[in-house]
Amino acid sequence: MKNNKSIVLIGMPGAGKSTVGVLLAKELALDFVDTDVLIQTREGKTLQEIMNESDYLNLRRIEGEVIAEAELPGYVIATGGSAVYSEAGMANLGRFGPIVFLNCSAEELRRRIHNYESRGIAKAPGQSFAELFEERQALYRKYADITVECDGCDLQQVLDAVLRELKAL
């Protein structure tokens, strides 16, 4: 990977951004950051505490600020699933390198996520998983430079697919 080019991972909660991100950083000798951690350290609160004290829109607002102001050359950047609600944030992250969408079907995500209502997902109360999935899918596709299909792939296979697609860019 060239000098300080970064890689940005987007996708639904449970898609594997945080897990695959660390493996990718190791493989490419890049630094790793999870923007969820940036939010928590800036606020001095967990994401769940931020949502409990305000609401999902406030979490999205804070996330948008954090990713719009971040300077992250030379990183694999695992975003939170709701990062794509911030146009300014995505524009900023996109300056650092390609945006990779880890795409999973709703069925696969349901298998991985058992705590949809209590996982701290930044969604309107009552919004169903299917509705959220549809709304988000359009946004992930809008920002993706690369899409990797993750259904039926273990972590190594996802990692290999991301590396292959990055080489082909």
Ligand X SMILES: Nc1ncnc2c1ncn2[C@@H]1O[C@H](COP(=O)(O)OP(=O)(O)O)[C@@H](O)[C@H]1O
- Should residue 40 be labelled a site residue for Mg ion when binding is judged by CB under 5 A? no
Integer-rounded Cα Rg, in Å, for the chain is 15
Nearest residue (beta carbon) to ligand X:
16
- Should residue 11 be labelled a site residue for ligand X when binding is judged by CB under 6 A? yes
Residue 60 assigned to a binding site: yes
The torsion angles phi and psi of 58, rounded to 5 degrees, stand at -70, -40
Residue 55 assigned to a binding site: no
- Should residue 40 be labelled a site residue for ligand X when binding is judged by CB under 6 A? no
For 12, 72, 104, 112, 135, the CA distances from 108, given in Å and listed in that order, are 11, 31, 6, 7, 17
Beta pairing, strands 31-34 & 146-149: unpaired
- Classified as helix, coil or strand, 106 is helix
- Should residue 18 be labelled a site residue for Mg ion when binding is judged by CB under 5 A? yes
- Residue 153 interaction partner, one of ligand S3P, Mg ion, ligand X, none, beta carbon < 5-8 Å per kind: ligand X
Contacts to ligand X by CB under 6 A: 11, 13-19, 78, 112, 150, 153-155, 158
Contacts to Mg ion by CB under 5 A: 17-18
